[in-house]
Amino acid sequence: MEAEYLQYITPDGLVYEFDTGKRWLMTEEEGTGLPDINYITQRGPFQHGNTVIDYRLEPRVVQLVLREDSCNRFEYWSSRRMLLNMIRPNRITRTSSNTGVLRKYFPDGTKLDLDVVIEKGPTFTAKGGKWDEWAYQETLRFIANNPIYYDPIPVCLTWPIAGIDQLVFPITFPIVFGGSFINETATVVYPGTWLSYPTIEITGPMQGILISNDTTGKFIHLLHDVSVGEVVTIYLPYGNKRVVSSILGDLTGTITDDSDTVLFYLAPDPEAAGGVNFITVQGINIDPGVTVVRIIYNVRYIGY
C-alpha cells in the first residue's frame, strides 16, 4: 500500500507538498464529493410543482486547513513566503495553463487531478489573540470552475492497420483488416463516473473518414482526405472543438454539418451499460503499415 497525500501543482509546474513530516491538513479536502447541482425545471399552467428536465454542475469549492510548525522565526518567515509564492495567481506564463492542479494520491497508487484557482487565503490572522510564534494554521480556499476530477494519465487506443499485434488494450477481438479500407469496431470499457471528450488522431493516407460511437449513436464525418505523412487531430473538449492538420493548419470547416462534435464522448455507466462504448472507425484508400487512427482520453470522475 502506498502513501495517501495531496499536492498543489502551480500553473508553471512547481510542486507544493501539503503532507510532509512537518505540514499536515487539519481538515482534509473538504468539498471533494458531489459538486453543487443546479436543476433545470419547468412548470405547466396547471401543474403542481416542477418537472426536472436537466441539470448543470456548479463550480466546485475545495477548502483545506493547513498547519505549519517551524523550529524558529527564520524558518517560520521562510515557510510563509514559500506558501505565498507557490499559490499566488500570477504564476501563469505564456506556455502554462491558467489554472493550478490539486493532485490526490491514493493508497492503491492511483491519482486524480482537479484544475483550480486560489480564491482565498492565507491571511495569517492571529487566532484568538494567541501568540503562536513558530507556527501558523491557515485556510486555503480553491475554486474548480470545471468541477470534474480526472486521471492525469491519458488512455490511448490505436487501430494500427498493419496488424493486430500492435493494438493497445482494451480492445475486442477479432480485429480483421482487409484491402485498402478499414471498418472495425473496438470495445472501450470506460470506468469513469463522468463523460470524457476524446482527442482523435488520424495519420494518413485515409479518405472518407467516419468515426462513430455506436453506443451513443453519435458520429464524426471528416470530408478532408488525409495525405501520406499528414496527421489530422480532432479536438473535442467542451468549448475548444477544432480540427488541425499538421500540414494545412485549421480544418474545422471540413467536419460535416450533421456530425455530432458537441455530443461525441465516451459515456459512463449507466448511459453505456457497464461503461462499454463501441467505437467504429471507417475509411478508404489506406496504406497498411502507415495509416493509423488513435483515440486519446482521460478517465473522469464526478468526485471521490
Cα separation, 146 vs 112, whole angstroms: 14
pLDDT of residue 3: 80
Q: Is the pLDDT of residue 245 over 80?
A: yes
Q: Taking the model in full, what pTM does it have?
A: 0.87
The set of residues, in sequence order, having a beta carbon less than 8 Å from that of 18 and lying 6+ positions away, is: 5, 6, 7, 8, 24, 25, 64, 66
Shared domain check, 108 and 218:
no
Is residue 176 very low, low, confident or very high in pLDDT (cuts 50, 70, 90)? very low
Confidence of residue 27 (pLDDT cuts 50, 70, 90): low
For residues 117-131, give the mean pLDDT. 82
Q: Do residues 51 and 165 both lie within one domain? A: no
Q: How many domains does one find in the chain?
A: 2
Q: State residue 95's pLDDT score.
A: 78
Give the model confidence (pLDDT) of 180-232 as tens digits.
888 889 999 999 999 999 999 999 999 999 999 999 999 999 999 999 999 99
Ranges 87-91, 118-122, 273-277, most confident = 273-277
C-alpha–C-alpha distance, residues 155 and 209, integer Å: 22
Judgement on whether residues 103 and 187 belong to the same structural domain of the protein: no
For residues 37 and 86, state if they share a domain.
yes
Model confidence pLDDT, tens digit, residues 31-78 = 999 999 999 999 999 999 999 999 999 999 999 988 888 888 999 999
- Out of 126, 147, 168, a domain closes at 147
Residues 290, 163 share a domain: yes
Give the domain CATH number at 72.
Answer: 2.40.30.200
Within this chain, do residues 297 and 161 fall inside the same structural domain, yes or no? yes
Whole-number Å distance between alpha carbons of 8 and 22 = 16
H or E, element range at 87: helix 73-87
**Cα of 5 vs its chain's centroid, Å:** 20
Residues 6+ apart with CB under 8 A from 133: 73, 76
Q: What is the pLDDT of residue 25?
A: 59
- Looking at every residue in the chain, the average pLDDT score rounds to 89
Beta-bridged to residue 280, according to DSSP, are 185, 212
**Beta-carbon-side half-sphere exposure of residue 191 (alpha carbons within 13 Å):** 4
Do 180 and 136 share a domain, yes or no? no
Q: Which of 123, 147, 171 is the last residue in one of the domains?
A: 147
Same domain assignment for residues 125 and 200:
no
* Domain-ending residue, one of 129, 147, 165: 147
Question: What's the confidence (pLDDT) of residue 71?
Answer: 86
Please indicate, yes or no, whether residues 126 and 164 belong to a single structural domain of this protein: no
Residues 111, 203 within the same domain: no
**Same structural domain, 160 and 275:** yes
Residues 292 and 193 in one domain: yes
**Which domain covers residue 291, as residue numbers?**
155-301
